[in-house]
Amino acid sequence: MKKILLIILDGLGDRPSKDLGNKTPLQAANKKNLNYLASKGMVGLFDPISPGIRPGSDTAHLSILGYDPYKTYTGRGPFEALGLGMDLKPGDVAFRGNFATVNDNFIVVDRRAGRIDNGTDELAKSLNMKIGDVEILVKEGVEHRAAVVLRGKNLSSKITDVDPHQENASVKESKPLDEKAKLTSDLINEFTRRSYKILDSHPINIERKKSGKNPANILLVRGAGIVPELEDFNKKFNLKAACIVGVPLISGICKLAGIKPISVPGATGTLNTNMENKIKYAIENLKEFDFILMNIKATDIAGHDGNAILKKEVIERADKAFEPLLEHLDEYTIMITGDHSTPCSVKDHTGDPLPVLISTSGIRSDGIDEWNEISAAKGSLRISGKDVINVLLNYSDRAEKFGA
């Protein structure tokens, strides 16, 4: 049996770029280690969910880890809260939120509260409360954004938004979409009223009003979702699993799946992340664990920036960092791919399939020694997200037989 290392270069897939002589960043990159791994293994194209679906990082990772995203993805609220590093439990109901400005009549004057960019940590803290038996947790996000989590019994996500989604409109009364949801809609209405009371007289807002800025005097929530119960990954696949992930959204999903986080010095989930350390810690921890998921976010960041040259450089840095893996092909089954394409020409995720490679000793080689979106199409693999763990179990000689 071999150990499994699954490396997700976030947003890896791309389209030809004018800045790179009509090559994709992966095509243009100098990447001898990735090419070596491809030459020793199988390559192909990969659909994180299914052909043409434009995944978020959350839905793609759910799918890759063997969870049906159409059943487990219950709305953006919980995943937004995970992304802010909140500690969620199955059954919690989570919302996305906006600090906004309302007048005395609860008319929304400014949905972004003057694009507030500091002090929201204190404002969020002032809104942590208990209503009845239900705990309400608030965490600030970037600028005016926040997440709100309700924790208690008999909660439901089947309620309408408080946020009117436009300015010069009244704050809405949340309504239950079925009978069981009335407790939750009542709670969120009460929370909204209290948020105004607390925030309108908060020292930060008194200061903002004095200096002529719009006060962040209400928190408007939307996108209710219930935190899903994910079957324990370790039990589901009989693997002792860990992850090396810098992005809170993905590490939050791993946590819900029971995948143990490994913290790595210098792994930041940003462009300057320390990839050498990530690989070093993966090798060290594969002595203890059977499976490690690694996410490298920097490729996606370059894609969203529309910077093909930067994306190519990030791939080259990753390639250098992967060098120590080459001597472990007798012990490891390594898969390298992405969670979706983030073409620099689009600056957002697309449904284009991604290049994938599986490398380990003793498997059939496709004989393709240059790995990119174009050459991968000549390889033997055609897989989608739900196949990933099964394929890895098979090539690491861990799969259970189906039938006699």
Q: Give the binding site for Zn ion (CB under 5 A).
A: 10, 57, 300, 339
Do 373 and 17 meet the contact criterion of CB atoms below 8 Å apart? no
Rounded to a whole number of angstroms, the minimum distance from the CB of residue 369 to Zn ion is: 28
Rounded to a whole number of angstroms, the minimum distance from the CB of residue 232 to Zn ion is: 24
Task: Give the closest residue to 251 by CA, choosing from 241, 242, 261.
Answer: 261
Rounded to a whole number of angstroms, the minimum distance from the CB of residue 11 to Zn ion is: 5
Closer to Zn ion by CB, 305 or 331: give it.
305
- Tell me the residue number closest to Zn ion, measured at CB: 57
Angle at 375 between CA 61 and CA 62, to 5 degrees: 5
Closer to Zn ion by CB, 337 or 372: give it.
337
The phi, psi pair for 8, rounded to 5°, reads: -105, 110
Closer to Zn ion by CB, 57 or 285: give it.
57
Rounded to a whole number of angstroms, the minimum distance from the CB of residue 348 to Zn ion is: 7
Cα–Cα distance list, 325 to 5, 63, 140, 328, 330 (Å): 10, 26, 39, 5, 10
Closer to Zn ion by CB, 215 or 338: give it.
338
> What is the rounded CA–CA span in Å between residue 84 and residue 81?
5
Closer to Zn ion by CB, 47 or 339: give it.
339
Closer to Zn ion by CB, 110 or 352: give it.
352
Point out which residues pair with 226 in neighbouring strands. Answer: 93
> What is the rounded CA–CA span in Å between residue 304 and residue 288?
36
Which tokens belong to 285? 């921890």
- Identity (one letter) of the amino acid at 190? E
